[in-house]
A and B are shown apart, each in its own frame.
Chain A
């Protein structure tokens, strides 16, 4: 069976829709980020302590909070999941104490809930220095990827293609960041890894379309650029939809059933796949189109591989 049979949508004419949607999403992202003073960093990037414990019987978050207040950590972030028996506690930068922060918290919890055995699932402490470094490294990582991609694309296609692709990538990362910001989700190291994966994946998509355009420029060299672009997108639509669908299928189950640790990571991937696919058609291609129209001939010369 075939999902997308011989479509002939005029994507080029429809690119205004793309600009509006993207514009709105980017605006939302920027507003949210500014309002929150930047992305919401997990302890990986902001430093601090994370403690996840599991009790045999469910405990109330309020009780946990009062237990923590008694030892001076009343402002901790407390989340409960798994039916109330697992508690996740996040505390900002710890003071330099003789006994480490997790120990203090665990002691407080143990004495508040006697007879309710408590097990440490995981704990993490990140000093501010490391947090800062990881933040910097994260940014470098993204920039380096973009650079590498720009170089490769310019070599295999053209500089215009490379720029259009990178623009689409920035768009994707920014919007995903925005969505995370709006939903109040944390950016942790695995989430950063997901972002970089989104970069690679979105690019995948964009290249498939650009590759077709490149090929069709040769084959249909008598047609106008907009016809070529439209044909290319329409022909690759089948593949794009199917691939996104299968990848989404794989990742959605991870998101739903994979457990809390991998949850944010899977979420980032889902957003990334959707936006990445969208951006290949409605961001990268229109930018490429606009660039070509402005800076080079409509037929023949543009789109030729070096």
Chain B
């Protein structure tokens, strides 16, 4: 009587125990109700979730972003560190933002891959992450100088094809109410003749306190003026050390929306490096909106004091990524802090503060890929899939019993064991379960059955040749073994390739498939054999229920 080898039993028990132990956290998590989960101490819960099976974004909900660092304007040295520095800064920003368990990874030479589970506000997240956040303090030039340059622009701008220009410019706002300025075909004008006010007609000068004026542009004209100012011909009349900058937002007026435009010195007096901290603060005059107060470093503070002292009466524009957020008039020397005033909501102020605190990105970021899955879709998908798998699983189980009788039952046990093994392995390896991954488990059910079918068909053949039961089982297993190995290895090869080439969701599938194949080989070859051996040891079988 050949006993079932002791080591096999021990191995099986050990593996089962391991699987059970590693699955326990997941079971606990799933079994807990919503209230129970909320009531848990957050640290403990985080640990529990970490030990349980990780769910992919497509099941959990969240954002997946792929960014590319635009190194085109960087020098070689800078370019080398650019991605690492960008990652640091982005990590900083995300940390402050407070997303749980974000993943920030480098993807190749130029790319950063970010996963933010649970987050749903895509725009906000993208702004937070993608914003370069270059902060500059630039002095606003006198309004007379503004007028001068504007008239020069008029002269040069006649004959410019506006259609052509505006096509290349990023659009904003509503362009349906634009001014139709006729550009004459007139030849060059002498300096006394007035040039058609292509540019200056679009700008309204409105007095503001202190004797100066603001330059405002109606919404419909913004794009055209922007295009005109950007054209190379016009650029020649704008002095090199000056530039035109636009305000960050539109303002509401009696005749519609408009934006302010500034002429500023190109060289910043102060930059973001002078900022040591940024805080959202209450606006005493408007409780529903916030300011962002900037605390400056010692050096920055000293410089700031110097600059404000030397420029009393002028405006200092606070510019973020080329847009003017505010341009307060310097009334006195300001020692210490500055503040950015705008109509910021809670969120906007907080985000801006985060971005300023973390520092500016070394280079602009391009969003290459963005995928967001809402949490409800994740839940729905899980529910539907599990239901489908349950039905499918039960059908297969019943079929096996129907077709292979008692041996079918043994195979079914192996199937269940399989599932436990796969899930346990995934929990232990910290693998991520994705939607295709669940489908991979389904496929594994089919493959697991396959291994058993191969063995059982062989055993049937041997029995038909009137071999004794024990021998039939032996021959069945040994003959099928080779085939199982060959067949499964090739599927494993494709799974490996998928693992290498796939994106996150596909990788999840490849992982579950691979684990599934290995598990099914294990259960089919080792476990069911053990059961057969155990039974044939106990009973002298004349025939086999197969």
Contact = CB atoms under 8 A, between A and B. Distances in A.
A254 B381 contact: no
B505 A189 contact: yes
Contacts of B438: 262
Contact of A100 (B126, B369, B497): B126
Interface in B377-394: 377, 380-381, 384-385, 387-389, 391-393
A144 interface: yes
Interface string A1-29: 11100000000000000000000000000
B443 A242 contact: no
Interface residues of A, number: 76
A268 B497 CA distance: 19
B502 interface: yes
B21 interface: no
A122 to B, nearest CB: 5
B374 interface: yes
Interface string A135-156: 0011011001100110011001
A18 B373 CA distance: 45
Contact of A246 (B368, B449, B492, B496): B449
A141 B369 contact: no
A182 interface: no
Given A256-B388, A259-B381, A122 B443 contact: no
A141 B498 contact: yes
A193 B443 contact: no
A60 B368 CA distance: 32
A127 interface: yes
A199 B490 CA distance: 9
Interface residues of B, number: 78
B483 A211 contact: yes
B376 A119 contact: yes
A257 B393 CA distance: 13
Main secondary structure of the interface of A (DSSP, over half): helix
Contacts of B377: 52, 121-122, 261
A125 B399 contact: no
Indicate the member of B123, B392, B400, B449 with the most A CB atoms within 10 Å.
B392
A153 B487 CA distance: 10
Contacts of A124: 370-372
- Top 7 nearest A-B pairs (CB, nearest first) are A247-B446, A200-B491, A259-B384, A253-B392, A200-B494, A257-B388, A141-B501
5 contacts: A141-B502, A193-B502, A211-B482, A242-B403, A258-B439
Interface of A: 1-3, 52, 54, 96-100, 102-103, 119-127, 129-130, 134, 137-138, 140-141, 144-145, 148-149, 152-153, 156, 189-190, 192-193, 196-197, 199-201, 203-205, 207-208, 211-212, 215, 235-236, 238-239, 242-243, 245-247, 249-254, 256-259, 261-262, 265-266, 269
Given A134-B503, A190-B506, A254-B439, 18 more contacts: A122-B374, A123-B371, A144-B501, A152-B490, A189-B506, A193-B436, A196-B498, A201-B443, A205-B487, A212-B483, A242-B449, A249-B395, A249-B399, A250-B392, A250-B443, A259-B380, A262-B438, A262-B439
Interface of B: 58, 66, 68, 120, 122-123, 126, 170-172, 366-374, 376-377, 380-381, 384-385, 387-389, 391-393, 395-396, 399-400, 402-403, 435-436, 438-439, 442-443, 445-447, 449-450, 453-454, 457, 460-461, 479, 482-483, 486-498, 500-503, 505-506, 509-510, 513
